[in-house]
Amino acid sequence: MPIYEYRCEECGERFEKLVRRTEPDEAIRCPRCGATETRKQFSTFAARGFDRATGSGIACAPGSNFG
């Protein structure tokens, strides 16, 4: 079950929602004001890699090159 990020068009609240794929599409309600005018947002994430030279983990920001 993926977690999606949403933004309420009424009050601007940003929130996450666990969405089950087996359920029919339904309006996502804002937890702050209850409005159903919400938009799915693009999510960013960070990844961890392994630095073979040092033998330690490295944090990689979105858009950075794994080297």
Task: Check which CATH number belongs to the domain holding 38 and give it.
Answer: 2.20.28
27 lies in a domain? yes
Per-residue pLDDT tens digits for 2-21:
888 999 999 999 999 988 77
Number of domains in the chain: 1
Residue 59 φ/ψ region, left for φ over 0, alpha for ψ in the -120 to 50 degree band, beta for the rest: beta
**In the predicted structure, residue 38 carries a pLDDT above the cut 60:** yes
The tokens describing 4, both together, are 């999606």
**Residue-range definition of the domain harbouring residue 24:** 3-60
Q: Report if residue 66 sits inside a domain.
A: no
User: What CA–CA distance (Å, rounded) separates 47 from 6?
Assistant: 22
Residue 67 inside a domain? The answer is: no
The pLDDT value recorded for residue 10 is 97
Burial category of 30 from C-beta neighbours within 10 Å (exposed 0-12, middle 13-18, buried 19 and up):
buried
State the burial class of residue 4 (Cβ atoms within 10 Å of its Cβ: 0-12, 13-18, 19+): middle
